[in-house]
Structure 1
């Protein structure tokens, strides 16, 4: 088989399992699931021998990817707003109604090479999101541009060092601030909220502009937590109140800010993105 990509392990890397290290080093296979498939098919070579998922790689190892059309992802010519970028990472704006990743061609992941500059660093890889936003949620998405930065940014999320804030519109009478500690998928889940603005509504009784801060990272956590206290997010067809679900306008949930210490420059970064126009129209 033809070798389509080649990677030399830099001097800074030693004693990392191949299945972990290989995520992000190949332009055609940015995902962990894709790497697992490639290893299973024998498409990844380490020093000219078939790579094994659990083997450790070290400085100067040569990792090669063999050709297989079923694993190749296309790059999509889709313009995204880039709010911050350097050789290590980027922050982009994901519009509502766009998948971050998946089997469909039109995703943020497939559009990133068209929108971001190629890193000049030795472990440059195809840019890869390091966290998720729901299909219906708009807002900020953090992207890694090198193999090591993808891992380091992932660790920041795992250790809860990156602070994420969301803006949402919720339904019904609501306390001005509080904390929700309700398990999601049988795992501890904590979110805090602060009401920024409230107006009376004939249909919903009240509409609230709310700042939401997740302290854990469960799937649909903010949507489930708001619903659990009787204040579901406007437009949430999955967790909304029967008879009070706004359809056709999308979900009123927006990832409005990211704050963290840059893992390499040590710069304090706070990136913000204003809420979509549809939010303000409700409160004008």
Structure 2
């Protein structure tokens, strides 16, 4: 066997089981089940002794990971994420368009988090989890919880609507400069405020608009359904569209640009932004 990883255990407030502590310390094994498999196959040693799931970690232990050609543990997702903010409680990452946030697929943001984020040093650290969703074709900012308490508290912020989200979209057709869209999505009340920032003429679509969107509720596909509902679908949307107004090959022109909220543990104001993708600025230069 070949040694492929080394980790010096961080000091813990109280001893923690190795199978809990080890999640995320090696980028090649991002899950608890992967750790268990590696232990079962004799690939992990603690202070020179074969690791067990019942071993407790206090801090200072030397943890070594070995590679065996017979092992299937090392199937690794190679997906580098841009980390926009991170501390022991939470992180904010950029999700590119065309990637699932989570689900049964191998290539998801959720599966890539442990290799891109630093493991929390807090006693209730868990495998990082997305707090909310972004559609597969949508790019933008995604909030991640790194501890049990953070996942709970950040979920409450969304439920209480105290997290402000701002999106930008390119829409088709003539629009009013300002508007409030209020109608049900999936039989639930949904509310979106919008402002048209720029409009250009288009030979194919007549008008294209750069629109700032602020959803007040969080229904599935809310922005896409609301804009279609007022006759101004998002450019590149292949699910919510008008006949003869489909753009192929460029993806969906919807971007989650900013997140603002009060940190539930430090009480500092968090405000993170991500610039518009290049495909937006090609339509609206000099933004």
Structure 1 length as normaliser, TM-score? Answer: 0.75
Q: Which runs of 5+ in 2 are unaligned?
A: 1-16, 22-29, 34-72
| Cross-structure match for 1:196 | 197
Pairing 1:27-176 to 2, within 5 Å after superposition:
27-28=31-32, 76-176=77-177
For residue 78 of structure 1, report the CA deviation from its aligned partner. 1.1
Q: Identify if the C-alpha distance between structure 1 residues 166 and 257 changes in structure 2 by more than 3 Å, giving closer, same or farther.
A: same
Instruction: Output the aligned Cα RMSD.
Output: 2.0
Q: Distance in 2 between matches of 1:73 and 1:119?
A: 23
CA deviations on 1:155-178 (whole Å, 9 max, x unpaired) are 000110100000000000000011
For residue 76 of structure 1, report the CA deviation from its aligned partner. 2.2
Q: How many residues align?
A: 223
Indicate if the aligned counterparts of 2:124 and 2:148 stay in contact, CA closer than 8 A: yes
| Cross-structure match for 2:255 | 254
For residue 28 of structure 1, report the CA deviation from its aligned partner. 3.1
- Rg bigger for which structure? 2
For residue 282 of structure 1, report the CA deviation from its aligned partner. 1.1
1:5 alignment partner, SS class: helix
CA deviations on 1:128-187 (whole Å, 9 max, x unpaired) are 000000000000000000011001000000110100000000000000011000100010
Q: Identify if the C-alpha distance between structure 1 residues 168 and 73 changes in structure 2 by more than 3 Å, giving closer, same or farther.
A: farther
Indicate if the aligned counterparts of 2:137 and 2:251 stay in contact, CA closer than 8 A: yes
| Cross-structure match for 1:180 | 181
2:281 alignment partner, SS class: helix
Q: Distance in 2 between matches of 1:109 and 1:206?
A: 37
| 2:252 paired with 1:243 | no
| Cross-structure match for 1:56 | none
Q: Distance in 1 between matches of 2:140 and 2:76?
A: 22
| Cross-structure match for 1:22 | none
Q: Which runs of 5+ in 1 are unaligned?
A: 8-25, 30-71
Q: Distance in 2 between matches of 1:221 and 1:74?
A: 36
1:225 alignment partner, SS class: helix
Indicate if the aligned counterparts of 1:169 and 1:209 stay in contact, CA closer than 8 A: yes
| Cross-structure match for 1:206 | 207
